[in-house]
Structure 1
Amino acid sequence: MINSEKKKKPIGKKILKWFSVIAIILVIVLVSIPYLFKDKIVQMVSNTINNNVHANVTFKDADLSLLKNFPLVSLTVKDLAIANKSPFVGDTLFNAQTLSLDMKIMELFKKENEPISIKSITSNNGNINIIFDKKGNGNFDIAKENNEKTDTTSDSSFSLNIDEYSLENINFYYIDRSTNTKLSLSKINHIGKGNFAEDIFNLDTKTTAVLSFDLDKTNYINNVNISLDAVLGIDLKNSKYTFKENTGFINQLPLKFNGFIQLVDENQFYNLSFKTPTSSFKNALALLPKQYAGNLNTIKTEGNFEINGIVKGTLSENTIPAFDINITSKNALFKYADLPKSVKNININSKIINKTGSVKDTYVFINKLNFKIDEDQFSANGSIKNVTTNPNINIAAKGTINLANIGKVYPASLKKELAGILNANISTKFDMNSVEKGNYEKIKNSGKISMSNFKYEGNDVANPFFIDKTSVSFNSNSIKLNEFEAKTGTSDLSIKGNLNNFYGFIFKDEVLKGNFNLSSNNLIVADFVDAESSSKEENTTTSSLKIPSFLEVKLNANAKKVVYDNINLNNVSGNLFIKNETVELQNLKSDIFGGNIAFNGTINTQETTSKFKMDLDLQQLNIGDSFSTLNMLKSIAPIAKTVDGKINSKITLSGFLNEDMTPDLKTISGNLFGKLLNPKLNSNNSKVLSLLNNKVDFLNFDNLNLDGINGVFSFDKGLVTVKPIPLTYKDIKIEIGGTHGFDQSMNYDIIFDVPVKYLGSEVTNLISKLTPKDAASIKSIPVKGTLKGSFTNPNFSSNLKDATNTLIKDLVAKQKANLLNQGKNKLLDLIGNKTTKKDTTKQNNTTNKVKDVLGGLFGKKKKN
């Protein structure tokens, strides 16, 4: 036993050793083979693509792996793109983040001229774009003809022997530019399994996607979830594909298919039928998007709802399969378990038919559609003929709906209940050719829609919104708003008018025109704006108000009282013209601040930043109220708030608007002319005037005469230039001019013409000693002052002291000159007299007088 055990141990070690060696060799092979064959496979991929397609094909890289789907070899092409050539230059037929091909390992050892058999294909994160141009050419037609292929011995270096394929997160887009048709299947996830090596086999598929459909700029299906689990019978010899076991869903509506599709020559033959597997009315609600349908598990239904159809015929360049699709319901009812009311007496009878296979012979009939909620009944019927050529539309609707019942029968996501009674009795009949050509007289419309006691509450309005009554009537081309009486908060509105070119707007993207009269007794802007929402918007990025480009409306407004922010406007009237994304104001007038104001101008929202241009005419406005309340006027003339009285003013200005449609003061420019009427200054309200009163002894600004004074201001980008304004205080003339900024900074020059009597006794005494002629020539002196700093922290300086000293020096010089002239005259008189025979006493007296005069001119000055 001992010897046998000893012999086994070396054998076990040898087996383990050889197993380890083989494992290492296998790992080396698994890792190295991809590198050995990668270039070969990449070359095959490139040759296969380039030999078979007319397109620009690019890919970033290709990887070969034995580990990904062992024992199969996986070839993964990254960032594959197939871009079209003419006539679809710039369009991409197909692109994918990855495209993976799986094959047996022995396929790698085949010769270059032997095709490689592919077992499975997987593609993810890509797009497929099928496009038809206006001439009917398709961008998918990129295959080369046989005589164009560079390798005539074989069509491809690959052959398909697929067992499985899959698409993960693929988007499919179908675009027909001739009919302006767009169909999209987004977020496609599809798996197919079958033995493609056989001529006849079953293909097991699972598909989910999101469907959207647009025709001529109108969206008919928007992001509808669809799915199909189907076993298809594949007959490759006869190109026939038959529906076997299958279940499909449109949203939550189930459908089952029977029949087949067969390729015949270059056409496709359809012989299909489909229907709802059950007839429960739940099927109708299942057509609604899941988030709107509510809990269908708890809903009670009666009656039926069925969709069934037949599609049979050939799809070719000139024909489509004939079809007959029926949607019916009889005496149905539905009631949600947690809601108090039900919808009953539901009857639906509608068809979509094409019996000839000609596209133009497609018809839609709504023979009956009616329902009842409580005692309110509603019914409609209509048809659309010649759907694809010249649609003829004929629709009529009649009934009453109590809006308060909507939330009681359907789980609508309304935070606040609606209220109001809607009555409708309308009909319309027209064809699209008449609309396209503008022959609106061929459009036959009649009827009326009215609503009363409507109430709406929500977070998007500041107060509950009430419509007491409104009615709209229809005729061939216009919609007439007969009445609209509404209230919210303490505000009231009344609107009447017409909308013109309604059908051109709906069907041809033409301008919607209108003419309305608006009146109100009390219009408080805050009643229409939610303060909480506004405060939230201040902390977020908001968009500037944009006037729709499709709107061309005239609005005649008349309101007894309008309150905007803290501004009260009375007797507001005027016209507003809306056109080309611009509002034009004409003859807009209002009583405000004890006077009235008139507006003319424009507000243009065509560009990213809105701009305005305005002419204002202010008459008899209270100066203090208007220039302290309106930010714009406050910035242009901040000193005006200290003035009591009235003003007449004309203002022209332009600039950009902020997002809340108020003027951006940093951008405005223009001019202001103002005339003061019976004004009175109150220097206590201004640091500037208080400073001037303290610095200039001879001036009291409270007594300044401003009556009839004109002021001319020009402003641009935050800087105001004031043309020199002449003022008078008693017999003192003043001129003030300069600049100030909207930031309250200032730089003003003030020139005072100061009578000499205000300069003190020293000056007046000197003047009194001048000759009458010299004294009369010196009445006043100019004094220059500067006012700088800001309106809240002003600085004032002047040359009053220097001007006074200069005047005194001039007066002294004049006095000396006068005395000197007097002395010269005395000397001449003395020298000219005869000195003979005079007595000694008289001669001595004369000598003393001369000494006195000379002493006065050159001796010590007298104190003044």
Structure 2
Amino acid sequence: MKKALKIFGFIIISIIVILIAGPFIFESQLKDLLKKTVNENLNARVEFSDVDLSFFRSFPQATLSIEDLSIINNQPFEGDTLAIGKEVILEMSVKELFKGSGEPKRIDELILNEAFINIKIDSLGNANYDIAKEDTSTTSEGNSGFSLDLKHYEVNNSRVKYLDEQAKIALDVKELNHSGTGDFSLEESKLETHSEALVSLDYDGVNYLDSHKLSLEALLGINLKTNKYTFLENQAMVNELPLVFDGFFQVEEDHNYMDLSFKTPSSDFKNFLAVIPGTYRKNIENVNTTGDFIVNGMIFGKADDLNIPKMDISITSNNASFKYPELPKAVQDINLDLKILNDTGIAEETYININQASFRIDEDRFTTSGKLSNITENMLVDLAVKGRVNLANLSKAYPFKMEQDLNGMLTADLSMNFDMNSIEKEQYQNVNSKGTANIKNFSYKSPEIPNEVKIANADLNFNQGNVRVPDLKLTTGKTDLQASGNLENLIGFLFTDQLLKGSFKVESNTFSVNDFMIAETKKETSGSKEQDVPVASGNKAIKIPSFLDVRLDFKAATVLYDNLTLKNATGVLLTENETAKLQNISTNIFNGSIGLNGLVSTKDETPFFEMVLDLNSLDIASSFNGLELMQGLAPIAKAIEGKLQSSVNLKGKLNNDLTPQLNSLVGNALAELLTAEINPAKAALLSKLDSQLDFINLKDIDLSKLKTQLKFKDGMVELSPFTFNFKGIKAQVSGSHSFDMAMNYDLLLDVPAKYLGSEVGGALGKLSGENIQEMMVALPIGITGNFQSPQIKLNMQQAVNNLTQKIVQQQKADLQQKGLKAINDILQGKRDPKEPFVKDSTATGTQTKKDSTGTKIPTKKDSINRSQQEQVQNAAKNILGGIMKNAAKKPDTTKKNN
């Protein structure tokens, strides 16, 4: 007994050792086999992070797990992802591992987890899934790798995208879970499947399914010999709409053939509500309904490159109604008679007949009818709409997911007949539309806009492709508008992706821009209540709508923008390609007028603008306080009172709220002060300058008719040199400042000596031999720092040098004049020729003495000249010192000037 137990224990231990060691023995072999199989069979780049073999995961089966599998296309879809999967699981019998390397290993079960499969067919018919290498072998013997002998397969939490550019089909299947159980090793078998997913489908630009929830329980009869698949027991759900169907699908050599029929198993009108996408569908299980809703159809025939299956699908409802228990209104008298037909199998001959689609809420009835034909090519549309709807009743009868209230009466009686090619080519002469539409007492509330929008009346007259709007009256907040005009392509805008084109004349007594500014909000929780809270709008980009191509000729008596009030605003606004062009804008503001031409564009990642601005007779102080741009261009303007005239050319980048990025400005300006007085107390720079120059009173300076030029570049404002005179003082200003208020300016003053007092004039007279009260003293002043904390530096040394040079030159000129007079006296006999021109008791002749080395020996006369030069310099310093004395006491320059 003990011996038997030992043998049994040894066997158990051996099995465990084999189960543990087996994966290490076979894993490398399977990795090599997988790579070999991929390289031999696929024309694509296949990668995976790891391969793991386990005997415990599905014992007694062996489980091969491939992690992070990716398949990347080669040409003609170079770099596109065909498929990625987080995990691929293959299960097979353990005995398959002991087969020779040349024998295929059969897979019993395949599981794909969290995969993304991206199928694409381009406009030339190339398919990205066509990656199998051509089999050039003449026999199947000797093939190695893996072969499928499936009993079960699964696709879990995956996504499949299908895009066929030729057929104009786009299918997106999300949250896909699909499984199948059968035996593919038999020629005839049954496959039991379960499928569920969210499905979106677009065909030729029309959306037919939008994240509709689809599920399918299907039992398929499979005949692999004839490639025929028969639906035995099947039920599908579209949202909550049940469909049962039967028939078969068969794959032939050059075409496919199908014969399918389907219908709703019940006729309850809830079936119709169930088709509505889940976003708009609310608690249909509690809805009270009457009447029926029936879907019945057949799809049959062959499908190949030239043909599609024929179809006959009808959707009907008679005298139906529904009412949500929590809402006060019911939708009644619902009648539907819709058919989708194709009698020939030719795709372009598919058509949809809308024999009737109508409903009633209270006494308001709305109905439509028409036909859509040639839907796969140049679709022909023939529709008629008639009725009246109280918009407020819509939310009272159906639980729309809306945060705003709608009110107003919409009335329509119109018909339209057109083909889509004419709409796309804007050939509106081929559009036949006629009739009218009107909306009265319309109101719209939303958290996204500051005030309720009210439309007292809006008329629309349809005539061919044109829609005339003879009268539109709108109010919101402080704003009132009255408009009339035309929409050139309303039908093109509604049925295709065309821009909305039109032109309008707009008049307003008061137009407040703030009434149309959208405030960004964020959700905050206060206690148990969630509410919208305004946040700074600087991070939210304001965009000019890309779909607008509209001209507005406007006239407004008053325009309110932020803290500005503009009067008599007129001009033209053109919007196109996310760009607003402003033409011939004029308005009265700041007791003057402004003319503007320019544009604002938001089509690039960073918005930008260009403008030409004419400022005519503006009040300087008011414009400085009201315009941020003026504060950056001319900070000193806040201390100037008077009138300004200027022309400004500017372009630059904009912030998300469409305010200028000052450092990006490029342009120039020509400014003229029509009348101007200075109040130094309002500007730190002028106040400090006024306190340091005792011979000037800045309050008395008149800058009228002063002209100057400005240039803007790299965040700097450059001031071209300009001059002005103040009671005999000539001033020149030049330099630049940045938009952060740092400055670097030069001020050069030419001050007449007579402003320095009789004592200074007497000193100059002694040096020059006569009174030179009219001599000018040049005083350079450097201005740095910033406008709030200026640094003023008087260049005294340069001023002394300039004044000294002037005095010396004046002395030379006086000597020359005396010499000429002496010569003239000698010629006339009035003077002894031996008498020197200049009396100098130290004069010893003009010969210069030199020492033995040739160096000039200073004479007594040279010493006297140097002494005189020093006296001139000292006098100059004294004069300039006098300028700066008594800064606290301003001289009366008026008296000095007399």
Q: Which whole-Å deviations, capped at 9, do the CAs of 1:318-372 have from their partners, x for residues lacking one?
A: 3222111111110001000111110000000001111222222211111110000
Q: How far off its partner does 1:602 sit?
A: 2.4
The Cα shift of 1:64 comes to 2.1
Look up the match of 1:602: 599
1:657 CA drift (Å): 1.1
Superposed counterparts of 1:91-102, under 5 Å = 91-102=80-91
Residues 1:349 and 2:337 are matched in the alignment: yes
User: Percent same amino acid among aligned pairs?
Assistant: 38
Aligned residues between the structures: 816
Rounded Cα–Cα distance in structure 2 between residues aligned with 1:766 and 1:139: 101
Whether the 8 Å contact between 1:348 and 1:368 is mirrored in structure 2 is: yes
Q: What is the aligned counterpart of 1:179 among 164, 167, 173?
A: 167
1:596 Cα shift?
A: 0.1
Residue of 66, 86, 92 corresponding to 2:55: 66
The answer as to 2:670 corresponding to 1:681 is no
Counterpart of 1:665 (choices 657, 662, 665) is 662
Name 2:117's counterpart in structure 1: 128
1:108 is aligned, of 82, 90, 97, to 97
Q: How does 1:736-747 map to 2 (within 5 A)?
A: 736-747=733-744
The CA distance in 1 between the partners of 2:789 and 2:586, in whole Å, is 38
Select between 424-433 and 777-786 the one with higher mean Cα deviation: 777-786
Alignment of 1:397-796 (within 5 A): 397-435=385-423, 438-502=426-490, 512-530=500-518, 533=521, 536-538=534-536, 541-548=539-546, 551-767=548-764, 774-776=770-772, 778-796=774-792
Q: 1:107 and 1:293 mapped to 2: Cα distance?
A: 52
**1:58-94 CA distances to partner (integer Å, 9 max, x unpaired)?**
5444332211111101122334444555555545544
The 3 A distance-change label for structure 1 pair 16 and 642 is farther
Does the alignment pair 1:196 with 2:184?
yes
CA distance in 2: counterparts of 1:784 and 1:332, whole angstroms: 95
Contact 1:422 1:452 (C-alpha < 8 Å) held by counterparts: yes
Higher alpha-carbon deviation: 388-397 or 108-117: 108-117
Distance 1:434 1:705 in 2: 69
Question: What is the Cα deviation at residue 407 of structure 1?
Answer: 1.4
Measured against aligned partners, the alpha-carbon deviations of 1:610-654 in whole angstroms (never above 9, x if no partner) come to: 222211111110011112321111111111111111111111111
Q: Which moved more, 1:370-379 or 1:537-546?
A: 537-546
1:18–1:695: structure 2 CA closer, same or farther, 3 Å change rule?
A: same
Counterpart CA distance in 1 for 2:746 and 2:44 is 78
Equivalent residues of 2:102, 2:143 under 8 A apart:
no
Residues 359-398 of structure 1 aligned to structure 2 (within 5 Å)? 359-398=347-386
1:323–1:353 Cα contact (<8 Å) kept: yes
* Corresponding residue for residue 13 of structure 2: 24
Note closer, same or farther for the CA distance 1:237–1:629 as it changes in structure 2 (3 Å cut). same
| Contact 2:46/2:69, CA 8 A, preserved across alignment | yes
Gaps of 5+ in 1: 1-10, 833-856
User: Aligned to 1:522, what secondary structure does the other structure show?
Assistant: strand
Can you list the C-alpha shifts for 1:684-709, whole angstroms capped at 9, x where unaligned? 21222222222111111111121211
SS in 1 for 2:630: helix
**Superposition CA RMSD, Å:** 3.3
Asked if the contact 2:752–2:773 (Cα under 8 Å) also holds between the matched residues in 1, the reply is: no
Partner Cα distance (1:685, 1:86) in 2: 73
Match for residue 77 of structure 1? 66
Aligned to 1:842: none
TM-score, with structure 2 as normaliser: 0.84
- In structure 2, do the counterparts of structure 1 residues 636 and 779 end up closer, same or farther at CA, with 3 Å as the change threshold? same
Q: Contact (CA 8 Å) 2:470, 2:485: kept in 1 or not?
A: yes
Classify the secondary structure of the residue corresponding to 2:275.
coil
Deviation at 1:437, TM superposition (A): 5.3
In structure 2, distance between residues paired with 1:803 and 1:762: 19
Counterpart contact for 1:520–1:560, Cα < 8 Å: yes
Deviation at 1:15, TM superposition (A): 6.6
Stretches of structure 2 lacking an aligned partner (at least 5 in a row): 523-532, 826-830, 836-866, 879-898
Query: What is the deviation of 1:162?
Result: 2.1
Matched with 1:208 is: 196
Supply the distance in 1 between the matched residues of 2:416 and 2:70 (Cα, whole angstroms).
50
Map Cα deviations across residues 817-856 of structure 1 (whole Å, 9 max, x no partner).
Answer: 99xx99x99xx99x99xxxxxxxxxxxxxxxxxxxxxxxx
* Pair 55,692 (structure 1): closer, same or farther in 2 beyond 3 Å: closer
TM-score (norm 1): 0.87
Q: Give 1:712 deviation, angstroms.
A: 2.0
Q: Write the letter of the residue equivalent to 1:216.
A: D
CA 1:788–1:434 in 2, change beyond 3 Å: closer, same or farther? closer
**600-609 or 806-815, which moves further after superposition?**
806-815
Aligned with 1:271 (options 254, 259, 262): 259
Distance 1:169 1:801 in 2: 86
Corresponding residue for 2:278?
Answer: 290
Distance change (3 Å), C-alpha of 1:436 and 1:677: closer
Change (3 A) 1:428 1:72: same
How far 1:169 sits from its partner (Å)?
A: 2.5
Q: Is the deviation greater in 471-480 or in 202-211?
A: 471-480
Change (3 A) 1:737 1:348: same
CA distance in 1, matches of 2:802, 2:497: 81
Between the aligned partners of 2:125 and 2:326, the Cα distance in structure 1 is 54
What does the per-residue CA deviation read over 1:461-485, in whole Å, with 9 as the maximum and x for residues that have no partner? 1111111111222232323222221
Between the aligned partners of 1:427 and 1:717, the Cα distance in structure 2 is 59
Question: How far apart are 1:34 and its partner, in Å?
Answer: 2.2
Q: Structure 1 residues 241 and 155, CA, compared in 2 at 3 Å: closer, same or farther?
A: farther
Contact residue 744 and residue 784 of structure 2 kept, 8 A? yes
Q: Which amino acid aligns with 1:786?
A: G
Q: Is the 8 A contact 1:52 1:149 kept in 2?
A: no
Report the alpha carbon displacement of residue 223 of structure 1 after superposing the two structures with TM.
1.7
